[in-house]
Structure 1
Amino acid sequence: MPTDPISALHNAALRTGFSGVIRIDRPGEDVFVEAYGFADRARRQRMTIAHRCGLASVSKGFTALAVGALIDDGVLSFESRARDMLGADLPLVHDDVTVGHLLAHTSGIGDYLDEAHGEITDYIFDRPLHLFDSTEAFLPVLDGHPQVSTPGSGFTYCNSGFVVLALVAERASGVPFHELVSTRVFAPAGMADTGYPRADEIAGDMALGYLDERGDRTNVFHLPVRGSGDGGAFTTVADLALFWTALFAGKVVSDSTRDSLTSALNHVPSERMRYGRGFWRGWESDAVILEGYDAGVSARTWHDPSSGVTGSIIANTSEGAWPVIAALDWS
């Protein structure tokens, strides 16, 4: 870690033309929070610390916790079979796939969004994006992808797995996924400015997501009109600070369930991180990490239980967060 990590982050943001928001909370010290660049380039609207930004796969942590809340309720368990909730839907998903497999990216199911091929700014959907307004609406794109490995045989990052988790959670609970996450995760954490807004109902405090570091092309034709279990939440850095505090105070799920979700199960050398069930961990450190990467979004938020430091770096561009994140030592 640099001698002065705040200066390292701030200087990296200025040097790289970062557009987004950074917040660092350190015990006994003043909060560092700073906004950079533009929330709306065409209208020259500056980014502020109160802007809500897209999170992409950071949202997977919220999905994991919604499932965790149902595990605490006894509605689901890590051993629950997805097939019991899917019924005849998604017949190519192996009958032995469990909730635990899906959370840990060890289900081996085929992925509707293969991040190993193409560019993050590619147009990947061949169905009108306005159709994806609920979790059930994702069934046509989740279907038709054969199982790629035996459940439990190894780690393969899989976006489909977290949309399937959203389906399982809402069918098991009888509560629509977005409502479930709102009531079981956002509300107990006090995250009043966090949710899954529609892309065609942009509020004034929502930052637009830009494909590149320059230019006015946004991600409006790249992402579903409303996200599901694998991404799509918008939030502020203040809400993310509340999130980590609430999570480690036992306000969202029980301590045992939180530990089960955040404990590292697999080493992922390509990311130089470890993975649990919905959460990343540092390669060697205790840091609990959520990360998101999509067209118009790059973000990392983390909490280090050892030091008590919590941080968030959210860019409203596809690549902008990474050079700023690199200013810190993540070993």
Structure 2
Amino acid sequence: MGNLQEKIESLQNEIQFSGTVIVAQGGNEIFNGNYGYANRGDKIRNQLNTKFGIASGCKIFTSTAIGQLVEQGKLKFDSKLKNFISIDFPHFDPDITVHHLLTHTSGVPDYFDEEVMDDFEELWINVPMYHIRSLKDFLPLFQNSKMKYQAGERFSYNNTGYILLGLLVEELSGQSFDEYVMEHIFKRAGMEDSGYFELDRLPSMTATGYIDFEDGSWKTNLYSVPVKGGSDGGAFVTAPDMLKFWKALTSHSLMGRETTEQLLTIHETEKDGLSYGYGIWIEKVGQVLQYMLMGYDPGVNFHASFYPEQDVQIVVCSNGSRGAYKILSLVQEEILSQYR
């Protein structure tokens, strides 16, 4: 692994990557590296147990929660949203199903539409980010908006769909979404250092997110993202905890085999060939099957890839806005090129 370490450190210096990298194979950690600062002002360095925001990388927790409720008989993947939620959405297609929401094919109005919007901070002009502390706080951003297209018509990545899934979890479980995930996913997986934390009261060993500018200056992401994440994104994890999650998921400690396979089955394929399961991206490059989690927010950059046939897991967490994918790609090439 010495050669890999040298290459990562060289790339890190080139792109000024800030974060943590961990690589495991066959259940054993074969590399970890920590770079940059969790807190730049106080010069506190990132460590292996530093907690990082992962933005949309945590949609897999939402799909897992839904899968658990399906196993409990509280709903089905083909259940219609309108039959299980008490909130009124006057313009929504009555035929929207849980499957549509999980696969980004629902057509519901996205509160942050990545097809037409590129500045996340514009969202908070009318609904300040410091008011977003629960899933229902997102409702003014989309509740009375019109559908983008008919349910099931096409794939279009959609954050609102995962907010709706989180609201379903709350209604069917009687718990807040974050309480449910903490009890039924994080605790069962042994993810002791992960959680849904508020940006204005972060626990110790949590990295602050930084937004860098071309002139070398920077600011934190405190006023750029919701103060507390939800079912569409915003959890904080450590890199080792993500390895624990994957082990718990694939060993069927969180759900049975059949339900787990539903999450990890290709349900939709984008025009560029990248496919989607329930809360997770899926791709096959040559002979290598790859499951991917990724998340991007201002001051957050996260990539995790899992290769079941080679029993390899790579997790890259960053408290900057870029660099994680380049680090991941380098590790992929070093570890997996022999299998392609």
TM-score (norm 2): 0.91
Asked whether 1:16 is paired with 2:19, we answer no
What is the match of residue 70 of structure 1? 69
Aligned twin of 1:286: 289
Match of 1:169 in 2: 169
2:275–2:282: 8 Å Cα contact kept in structure 1?
yes
Give the CA deviation at 1:141.
Answer: 1.3
* Equivalent position of 2:239 in the other structure: 237
1:320 deviates by: 2.4
Instruction: Name the CA distance, whole Å, in 2 between partners of 1:60 and 1:6.
Output: 30
**Whole-Å separation in 2 of the counterparts to 1:155 and 1:5:** 37
What is the alpha-carbon root mean square deviation over aligned residues?
Answer: 2.1
Q: For residue 294 of structure 2, give the secondary structure of its aligned residue in structure 1.
A: strand
Paired-residue identity, %: 31
CA distance in 1, matches of 2:112, 2:27: 43
Letter matched to residue 278 of structure 2: R
TM-score by length of 1: 0.93
Q: Could you tell me which of 296, 299, 305 is aligned with 1:296?
A: 299
Aligned to 1:324: 327
Kindly indicate which of the two structures has a greater share of residues assigned to strand.
2
Trace 1:185-204 onto structure 2 (pairs within 5 A): 185-204=185-204
Residue 159 (structure 1) shift: 0.4
Q: Which residue of 1 aligns with 2:260?
A: 258
- Find the aligned partners of 1:121 and 1:326 in 2 and give their Cα distance: 26
Q: Judging by fraction of residues, say which structure has more helix.
A: 2
> Could you tell me whether the CA contact under 8 Å between 1:196 and 1:227 is conserved in 2?
yes
Q: Which residue of structure 1 aligns with residue 159 of structure 2?
A: 159
Task: Say whether the 8 Å CA contact 1:59–1:232 is kept in structure 2.
Answer: yes
Query: Any gaps of 5 or more consecutive residues in structure 2?
Result: none
Distance 1:8 1:276, change over 3 A: farther
Cα distance in 1 between the residues matched to 2:114 and 2:133: 22
Aligned partners of 2:120 and 2:225 also within 8 Å: no
Query: How far apart, in 2, do the equivalents of 1:294 and 1:50 lie?
Result: 21
Query: Structure 2 vs 1, CA of residues 283 and 179 (structure 1 numbering), >3 Å: closer, same or farther?
Result: same
For structure 1, the residue ranges without an aligned partner over 5 or more in a row are: none
Q: Alignment length, in residue pairs? A: 329
1:114 maps to which residue?
113
Deviations 1:43-75 (A, max 9, x none): 111111111000000110111101111011111
Q: CA separation of 1:79/1:212 partners in 2, compared to 1, >3 Å: closer, same or farther?
A: same
**C-alpha distance in structure 2 between counterparts of 1:198 and 1:148, whole Å:** 31
1:251 maps to a residue whose letter is S
The alpha-carbon distance between structure 1 residues 278 and 249, as it changes in their structure 2 partners (threshold 3 A), is same
Distance 1:186 1:142 in 2: 29
Shift in Å, 1:120: 5.0
What amino acid maps onto 1:255 in structure 2? R
Structure 1 residues 89 and 185: CA distance shift in structure 2, 3 A: same
Structure 1 residues 30 and 151, CA, compared in 2 at 3 Å: closer, same or farther? Answer: closer
Greater mean alpha carbon deviation, residues 284-293 or residues 228-237? 284-293
Aligned amino acid, residue 180 of structure 2: L
2:149 counterpart residue number:
149
Residues 109 and 148 of structure 1 are in contact (CA less than 8 Å); yes or no, is this contact kept in structure 2?
Answer: yes
